[in-house]
Amino acid sequence: MTVVSVNCRCPKKYFASVPNCYYKRGSSMVASKEKLTIRDLRARAVVVPLGRPVATKVGEFAEWPLILIDLYTDEGVTGHGYLAPYIRQSVAYITPTLYDIAKLMRGQEVAPFQTYQKARASLRLVGYQGVSMMAVAGFDMACWDVLAKAAGVPLVTLLGGTIEPVKAYNSNGLGLMSPDRVAAEALELLAEGDFKALKVRVGRETLAQDIAALRNVRKAVGNDVILVCDFNQGLSLGEAMRRCRALDSEDVYWIEEPIAYDDLDGNAKIARETATPIQIGENFYGPRAMYQAIAAGACDYVMPDLMRIGGVTGWLRAAAIADAAGIEMSTHLYPEISSHLMRVTATAHWLEWQDWAHPILAEPFKVADGHIHIRNVPGNGLDWNEDAVSRYGLDV
């Protein structure tokens, strides 16, 4: 046994279910295990309905597929994570890769930086992006959850941060609906958690319709609410230049993904010639892609997505790049895990809030006063509602 003379934060109710948890004994802690060993993985697919279907320039979403990941260790600690691959078909591609990674890692120590590198290397012949990175990210999220649970602390604490509320904007709706309907929904979204910021989808058939929608929202919510807008990569470069310049006079906090994410030259042109900040990043596959976009001047802000940036490990590496470049960094999806990471991100900006995973969570995170409140429990705070998982289960 290893004796460690620091205070234990593991709740008493937790140690019984975590054999290798650090537990308090007098004024010291005793670690009952030297390390955690990867044993197996289970991936289950669900498709949950969205409370508000969202129409965007690139598609309409009335339901949301999720891949729920359970990583098992020999010592009895189970880590959780999930992936949200947008469309049902993606589940059939990502899940086998997750199992391949788990097979490769079986019997190895839970050490996210090492498993991240090894998993990436094992997939280099099929490419580092796309499904490869998504599967690595999901495995990585679960590994970090295992470590935090074993230490008996929230993920943010394990990473060196503190549990504090994280400011968020509500992204649960305001799709490409008729401009005369957006005002009512905007007020509903503000009331969901006393939010002070909202996302408005743009990219309607005409620029006039987009401007009408934004003005209707602004009139309804007042001047103190921050509005960000998102074109979802739906425009050509020429049309993006026209519309983004027009939005410069509409009090928009940022313009998100006006054109294809990988057109760095085009995005750089828009960023140079538009007064409103340009936000991209949800499609960065790994930290290097973010570095390349920043180096190209393709954006003013960045917002990595955990599934694409490489999970917790990928996020930490990307956050260092953003810090070095002095660029503010927001999140995309995965608010439960992302909230922990924002507390250890030097240039943390805004957390994107959606409740899309709520139907299968045993205890959703609390949102109040425009902030997400991190659960003060060991790990990342994800626990499954098994009845809901059965109800929404999808056969792969």
Q: What is the pLDDT of residues 15-37, one digit of tens each?
A: 344 444 433 333 223 344 579 99
Judge if 73 and 177 occupy the same domain. Answer: no
pLDDT at 305: 98
Q: Does 317 lie in the same domain as 235?
A: yes
393 domain residue, yes or no:
no
So what's the pLDDT on residue 18? Answer: 42
Which residue among 138, 153, 168 closes a domain? 153
- Residue 368: band (very low, low, confident or very high) from pLDDT cuts 50, 70, 90: very high
Q: 3-state SS string over 207-228?
A: HHHHHHHHHHHHHHHCCCCEEE
Structure tokens belonging to residue 160: 């060196």
Query: Is the sign of the CA dihedral 108, 112, 116, 117 positive or negative?
Result: negative
**366-368 and 371-373: which strand pairing?**
antiparallel
Burial (CB count <10 Å: 0-12, 13-18, 19+), residue 222: exposed
Residues 247, 224 contacting (CB under 8 angstroms): no
Split at pLDDT 50, 70, 90, the class of 396 is: low
Residue 223 predicted with pLDDT over 90 = yes
Pairing of strands 22-25, 28-31: antiparallel
Q: Are 21 and 69 in the same domain?
A: no
240-251 pLDDT per residue, tens: 999 999 999 999
For the stretch 45-56, pLDDT in tens is 999 999 999 889
Percent of the chain with pLDDT over 70: 91
C-alpha distances out from residue 73 to 9, 76, 332, Å: 22, 5, 29
pLDDT band at 260 (very low <50, low <70, confident <90, very high): very high
Please check whether residues 243 and 354 belong to one and the same domain.
yes
CB 178 within 8 Å of CB 204? no
* Residue 349 belongs to some domain of the structure: yes
Query: Do 168 and 195 fall within a single domain?
Result: yes
Total structural domains within the chain: 3
Task: Identify whether 394 is part of a domain.
Answer: no
Residue 87 included in any domain = yes
Contact 393, 44 (CB under 8 A): yes
Q: Which CATH number fits the domain that encloses residue 88?
A: 3.30.390.10
Q: What pLDDT is attached to residue 158?
A: 98
293 in a structural domain:
yes
Q: Are 165 and 103 part of one and the same domain? A: no
Judgement on whether residues 101 and 127 belong to the same structural domain of the protein: yes
For residue 5, pLDDT beyond 60: no
Residue at 182 is within a domain = yes
pLDDT for res 20 = 41
Listed residues 118, 133, 153: the one ending a domain: 153
Classify residue 6: in a domain, yes or no: yes
Same domain? 371 vs 232: yes
pLDDT on residue 58: 82
Domain that holds residue 17: 2-34
User: Do 209 and 179 share a structural domain?
Assistant: yes
Q: Which of 131, 153, 175 is the last residue of a domain?
A: 153
Beta bridge partners of 89: none
CATH code where residue 356 lies: 3.20.20.120
Site of tokens 């992204």:
171
pLDDT tens digit sequence for 42-84? 999 999 999 999 889 888 899 999 999 999 999 999 999 999 9
CA distances in angstroms from 116 to 159, 223, 275, 377, listed in the order given: 17, 45, 39, 25
More confident residue, 16 or 390: 390
Q: Tell me the C-alpha distance between 89 and 80, whole Å.
A: 22
**Do 57 and 149 have their domain in common?**
yes
Instruction: Say whether both 232 and 312 belong to one domain.
Output: yes
Q: What is the mean pLDDT of residues 107-132?
A: 95
Asked if pLDDT for residue 231 goes beyond 60, the answer is: yes
Q: How far apart are CA 310 and CA 316, in angstroms?
A: 9
pLDDT recorded at residue 57 = 85
- Note the pLDDT of residue 293: 98
Single-letter amino acid code for the residue at 279: Q
- Mean pLDDT, the chain, as a whole number? 92
Query: In this structure, are 209 and 266 located in the same domain?
Result: yes
Position 391 in a domain = no
Distance from first CA to last CA of the chain, Å, rounded? Answer: 43
Residue 282 has pLDDT above 50, yes or no: yes
